[in-house]
Structure 1
Amino acid sequence: MSETDSCDVLIVGGGPGGSSCAWGLRESGLDVLILDKATFPRDKVCAGWITPAVAELLELDLKDYSHGHVLQPISRFRTGLIGGSTLHTEYPETVSYGIRRCEFDHYLLQRCGARARLGESFQSLERTADGWLVNGNLSAKMVIGAGGHFCPVAREINDKHAGDHSVVLAQETEVQLTPEQQQRCRVQPDTPELYFCRDFKGYAWCFLKDGYLNVGIGREGEKQLSTARDEFTEYLDREQRVPRDILGKFKGHAYRLYGLQKRTIIDDALLLIGDAAGLASPQSGEGIRPAIESGLMAADVLQNCQPNFDKGQLQIYQDRLLERFGPWPDEPAHSMLPDVFRQFLGRQLMGTQWFTRKVLLNRWFLQQHLPPLVRS
């Protein structure tokens, strides 16, 4: 057991949300500690790209970051249905950057300025007169859950048996290609490929960035995701986009789509950010930007309400979250369109350049409709 320790703010999870929250608190005077069961750098299931809006919010010097880290400019997309025709959409400027999560997350964690206890799992959470006791040996006045979909802090304050209709399961592999393998792979570095399932309950992707090929698929509440994955990789092989033999072992992940089901995200001296709060975009599953924005929003609120971290003071965080990402439904949301009609409409729209550019890419994946986050 580690020695007894204490801090003002304990962040459980060192991913982009947790490290961004710590970075936002770097001049607050609060003693911030990050706890994560992994040691960094670590792998993370994710297609891996950030928009210029994210880089600006984090005050990233992209030229500096590109030295020693993968930073692939993106200015084109190839989109379509699995097994169907495809469209190419081109932009006159860079609209996103491909990154490797193992590098990106480690970079943010190193620069955030907080203390860290890595390679240590969260085991227990007990209330005390001054806040919380974690793992029996770590006292904190405030605890932030930033551990993703399976965040143990989130499980403490939410129904552990909630329905899975708002949960997406994903599988992904990322491999470094040899020069010979790159010759056989037809995916272009500046052109990620997005393929929607024919029932529109998920999508798959291929992304080549500085010699690293990332291939994955995600589906809503899918119990047999491996079948859908195999059908997709067979399609890529048949179309001579990606030979199956160059793909590595797939790894799994899950995340909760925002706005489909209510979540408890605040309590006395406790709040959730990022995937722990279920903030992934309902259209694209994008989780990096919501994680970073919610982490910075939480940091702003904590600075303004310290040293009193009761639920009433933290309510402003939840209010700002709902204002930013939209309200939760009173009841679990379900599609108002019959599946057959949704599939027919989707196939028609996916074949149009206007819908692909203006809605699918600009709005769903690039989130260009969102104004810059205004911090207090």
Structure 2
Amino acid sequence: MKLPIWLFAAALSLSTTAVAAQEHKIRISQHHSSQSGVFNDVIIPVKEFIERESDGRIGVETYPNGVLHGPYDGFKALVTNVTDIAPAFPLQNASSFHLSHGWFLPGGFETSYAINQANEELYPEFTKAEYQALGIEVFLHGASAPYQLLTTKEVKSLSDIKGMKISGAGGPVNEMIAAIGGVPVTLPAAETYSAVQQGVVDGVMLPDESIVTYRMHELAKYYVPVEFGRAGDIPFGLNRATYNNLPEDLKDVIYHAGRYGSLLYADFAQRGAEVGKKTLEEHGVTFVELSEQDSATLDAAKAKLWKDFAEKNDANGYRGTEFVEAMRALSKEFGAMTHDQMTARQKEVGKLDILP
């Protein structure tokens, strides 16, 4: 059946309009699986936000599963125009960062909402230059739930951890492990499960929302609530050239998409932490209750990490003490910040100097 000429012409006109409406393309790539929470609960809603708020003028293509680059190549992929938005974690380029590592300090913030919002507000003054020195901008800020210790060997007190080989992610995470007497072992994330299963390591330090992702509920026997910091600076970076080539109104869309993404990442971490603990309970993992003495020992170890961080950065000219004081001030102000409170705060502070 042939279409009437007027209907064919109308359809052609609509098709041409739709194609013309897409003026820019943005690629979001990541090493996370297409089944992961980061992809489905953060990146997909961000993609939809950008396309909707730009009225279709920006088309977004997503590339999960490490299709465009590996987990340690996000920075390079951004500056060489392989991608436009991608994970840019300080831990994966640790020697190039200084104050940014402060977001990993233990016990700093009560919720993922609080630390993400604090990161947004302190970023322009304290850490923006570290990312820009590598040729990128930060698109959204992310933070995990606090790191906890899961072991295959029995733990009744902190003294039982001494000498245990514990898998960590390097950098500040390994400092946490050493602070409680463990022996840090840095492994690629993909090898964590087999390393625990085969006894290469006795346990793993990871955030609550990663328990199910790494299937530690299948292997761990003990959960030790050390509350030893968060992966507090795990942002997605932005290709500077891509951003600079956008007209001002679409730059505004990208800015607000990033703030929405920071909120979504906090949602993901908070929700994932609850699921992780519940899953451990369902699999019969023992939750260790630390004594008052052990808790005091942990507090002292955490305080030392804060002190050492400030002094080390001060000595190297990086405003460590000022940064620590600013973090603590916002932590006190934000308390147990919720989703709604973070949304209200975003409106209250208005547009921040996050992007150029």
Bigger radius of gyration: 2
Which structure: greater strand fraction? Answer: 1
TM-score (norm 1): 0.25
Structure with the greater relative contact order (CA < 8 A, sep ≥ 6): 1 or 2? 2
Which structure: greater helix fraction? Answer: 2
TM-score (norm 2): 0.26
